Structure 1
Amino acid sequence: MATDDSPHVPVPEQTTLTIGGPTDVIAAVPYLLGFHPADSIVILGIRSGATQVRCLLRCDLADELTAYAAEWADQVAAMLAEADCGSVVAVGYGPARHVTPCVDALRASTPAVGIPVREALRVADGRYWSYVCDSTECCPHDGVAYDVATSAVPATAVVGGLTVWRDRGVIEEFVAAVNGHRRVQMERATVDAERRAERMRQRLLPFGEAALRTTVRCEGVRVVRAAVDAALRGDLIDAPERIAWLGLLLGSIRVRDEAWARIDAAHLDVHVGLWRQVFRHVRTDYSAAPGSLLAFAAWQSGDIALADVVLDRVEEAAPHYTMAALVRRAVRSGMPPEKWEPMTPEWLEEVAPLTGSAVASPAAVPMDPERPIGPGGSGEGA
Structure 2
Amino acid sequence: MSTTTMHLRSPAELLAAVPYILGFQPTDSIVAIALKDGRVGLTARIDLPAPDHPERAVDALMPALLREEPDQVIAIGYGDSAGHAATVLDGFAAVLAEEGIGIRDRLLVTGGRWRSLECADPGCCPPEGTLLEQDESATAVASEFVGQGVAPLPDRAALAAQLEPTEKARLVGRLLDRPRPRRVLQPRVVAGIWARVLDPDEDPPELMAQDASWATRTLQDVGLRDGIIAWLTPGTLKPADLPDDVQAVLKLLGPAPHTSGDPSVDLRLRSRLVRLCTLLPDSHAAPALTVLAAHAWWHGNGALTRVALDRTLRCDPDYRLAQLLTLMVDQGISPTDR
CA distance change for structure 1 residues 328 and 18 in 2, over 3 Å: closer, same or farther? farther
Q: Does 1:268 align with 2:266?
A: yes
2:77 counterpart of 1:108: no
Query: Once the 2 structures are TM-superposed, how far is the Cα of residue 277 of structure 1 from its aligned partner?
Result: 2.9
Task: List aligned pairs for 1:125-274, cutoff 5 A.
Answer: 125-146=111-132, 147-151=134-138, 154=141, 157-158=144-145, 161=148, 163-168=150-155, 169-179=157-167, 182-192=168-178, 195-196=179-180, 200=182, 218-219=184-185, 224-231=190-197, 232=199, 234-240=204-210, 242-263=211-232, 264=256, 265=258, 266=260, 267-269=265-267, 271-274=269-272
Q: Bigger relative contact order, structure 1 or 2, given CA contacts below 8 A and separation 6+?
A: 2
- Residues 8 and 14, structure 2, Cα contact 8 Å, conserved in 1: no
Distance 1:157 1:291 in 2: 29
How many residues align? The count is 301
1:277 pairs with one of 272, 275, 280? 275
In structure 2, runs of 5+ residues without a counterpart are 233-255
Which residue identity does 2:208 align to in structure 1?
D
For residues 110 and 151 of structure 2, the distance between their equivalents in structure 1, rounded to whole angstroms, comes to 19
Q: Distance in 1 between matches of 2:330 and 2:124?
A: 36
The correspondence for 1:316, drawn from 309, 314, 317, is: 314
Are 2:38 and 1:60 aligned?
no
Gaps of 5+ in 1: 1-10, 201-214, 341-362, 364-382
SS for the counterpart of 1:18 is coil
Deviation at 1:77, TM superposition (A): 2.6
SS of structure 1 residue aligned to 2:164: coil
SS at structure 1 position matched to 2:46? strand
For the 8 Å contact 1:18–1:153, the answer to whether it is kept is no
- Do the aligned residues in 1 keep the contact of 2:24 with 2:152 (CA within 8 Å)? yes
Q: C-alpha distance in 1, partners of 2:16/2:267?
A: 26
> Which of the numbers 60, 65, 68 marks the counterpart of 1:80?
65
State the identity %: 24
Q: 1:70 to 1:320 in 2, by over 3 A?
A: farther
What RMSD over aligned residues (CA atoms) do the two structures have, in Å?
A: 3.5
Which residue of structure 2 aligns with residue 31 of structure 1? Answer: 20
Q: 1:186 to 1:161 in 2, by over 3 A?
A: closer
- Equivalent pair of 2:172/2:209 in contact (CA under 8 Å): no
Question: Following superposition of structure 1 onto structure 2, how do residues 10-25 of structure 1 map, counting pairs within 5 Å?
Answer: 13-20=3-10, 22-25=11-14
1:193-245 per-position Cα deviation (integer Å, ceiling 9, x unaligned): xx326xx4xxxxxxxxxxxxxx7xx53856642212234384554125x5334
Which range is displaced more, 144-153 or 22-31?
144-153
Q: What amino acid is the match of 1:52?
A: R
| Residues 152 and 165 of structure 1, relative CA distance in 2, 3 Å threshold | closer
Q: Which has the larger radius of gyration?
A: 1
1:122 to 103, 108, 126: 108
Name the SS for the 1:73 alignment partner.
helix
TM-score, normalised relative to structure 2: 0.73
Q: Which amino acid aligns with 2:193?
A: A
Distance 1:315 1:246 in 2: 20
For the residue of structure 2 that corresponds to 1:57, the secondary structure is strand
Query: What residue number does 1:89 align with?
Result: 74
Tell me if the contact between 2:49 and 2:57 (Cα under 8 Å) persists in the aligned partners. Answer: no
